Amino acid sequence: MTRSHDAIVTTQFGPRAADYVQSAVHATGEDLDALDAIVRRQAPAHALDLGSGGGHVAYRLAAHAAQVTASDLSGEMMVAVATTSLEKGLANIATCVAPAESLPFEDASFDFLGCRFSAHHWRDFHAGLREARRVLARGSTAVFVDAVSPGRASLDTHLQAVELLRDTSHVRDYSASEWASALTEAGFTVHATRTWRLRMDFATWIARMRTPEVNSSAIRALQDTASDVVRTHFDIEPDGSFMLDTLMMEAVAA
Ligand SMILES: C[S@@+](CC[C@H](N)C(=O)[O-])C[C@H]1O[C@@H](n2cnc3c(N)ncnc32)[C@H](O)[C@@H]1O
């Protein structure tokens, strides 16, 4: 049996589309407010939400952009976004089912791009960033938000291990320096970065991905045997809840 990475992603996310529309961690956040402030200043003609999931970036973009396209690998996510847009009275959001690595848009089709908590799932991170750059007009702003690796090897290994056990579509939470060099290689200039720490409530975090019991027990075993450095960095609580580092990068298509 063959199994592509993209099939793992759509199998993971498709049936959970409604959960992602409702998820408090995804529907709110200081990063969304910061992104809102950036897009409000720019009032784009056509903005792209890449890896849109439950559409929370698209709904914010729609308040300030003339037109918005929400794009995602999962058709079920895009059906959920189309339905929710109608419910919210946001008539300027169109949806598109496509991999970030191969976008069905002409060069320079957009003048703003938002991409939040998606790139760590991409089969080919660098190809996705090159596509993001290609579909943006020169001088346009792109805002990327994602979970980020703290960099230090022991912390990095723990983070990637628990992420993969929780969700097999996880590829990598890149470090800030990996993000910076990948964005530069793809043709972006990074103008500003901000970081936040988000508390992941263990039960909610596991339930959202319907992680099998054997995997969630393995995560708890890793947490219980982690070094003081790892436990302190992630602020691991007795029930497995922990703090996740996130990074926002405001970049311009060079
Ligand atoms: C955590 S959800 C996105 C959250 C959403 N952007 C938000 O702000 O609430 C991750 C999304 O990335 C999508 N995704 C994963 N790999 C992708 C790829 N290669 N191309 C496009 N979308 C992808 C998944 O289908 C999923 O909907």
Query: What is the set of domains in the chain, with CATH numbers?
Result: 5-150+171-210+243-253 (3.40.50.150)
What is the percentage of the chain residues whose pLDDT exceeds 90? 95
pLDDT, one tens digit per residue, over 119-129 is 999 999 999 99
Instruction: Examine the pLDDT at 1 and tell me if it is beyond 80.
Output: no
- Of 4, 11, 72, 85, the residue with max ligand 1 atoms within 8 A of its CB, to mutate for a pocket test, comes to 72
Taking the CA of residue 49 as reference, the ligand 1 atom at the shortest distance is 6
State in Å: Cα 120 to ligand 1 middle: 9
Q: Is the CB of 81 under 6 A from ligand 1?
A: no
Contact 61, 81 (CB under 8 A): no
pLDDT confidence of residue 100: 98
Taking the CA of residue 115 as reference, the ligand 1 atom at the shortest distance is 6
How much is the average pLDDT of 54-80? 98
How much is the average pLDDT of 105-111? 98
Residue found under tokens 């790139």: 119
pLDDT confidence of residue 20: 87
H/E stretch holding 91 reads none
pLDDT confidence of residue 10: 95
- Of 30, 36, 121, the residue with max ligand 1 atoms within 8 A of its CB, to mutate for a pocket test, comes to 121
pLDDT, one tens digit per residue, over 41-50 is 999 999 999 9
Instruction: Examine the pLDDT at 162 and tell me if it is beyond 80.
Output: yes
Instruction: Examine the pLDDT at 171 and tell me if it is beyond 80.
Output: yes
Per DSSP, the residues of 190-202 read EEEEEEEEEEE-H
State in Å: Cα 70 to ligand 1 middle: 10
pLDDT, one tens digit per residue, over 174-211 is 999 999 999 999 999 999 999 999 999 999 999 999 99
State in Å: Cα 118 to ligand 1 middle: 4
Q: Which is nearest to 39 in space by CA: 141, 115, 126, 135?
A: 141
Instruction: Kindly report the average pLDDT of the chain as a whole number.
Output: 97
DSSP-derived pairing of the beta strands 188-200 and 242-253 = antiparallel
pLDDT confidence of residue 99: 98
Q: Is the CB of 69 under 6 A from ligand 1?
A: no
pLDDT confidence of residue 2: 83
State in Å: Cα 73 to ligand 1 middle: 7
State in Å: Cα 246 to ligand 1 middle: 16
Contacting residues for 222 by C-beta, under 8 A, at least 6 apart: 158, 161, 162, 165
State in Å: Cα 225 to ligand 1 middle: 31
Q: How many whole angstroms separate alpha carbon 98 and alpha carbon 189?
A: 25
Q: Is the CB of 72 under 6 A from ligand 1?
A: yes
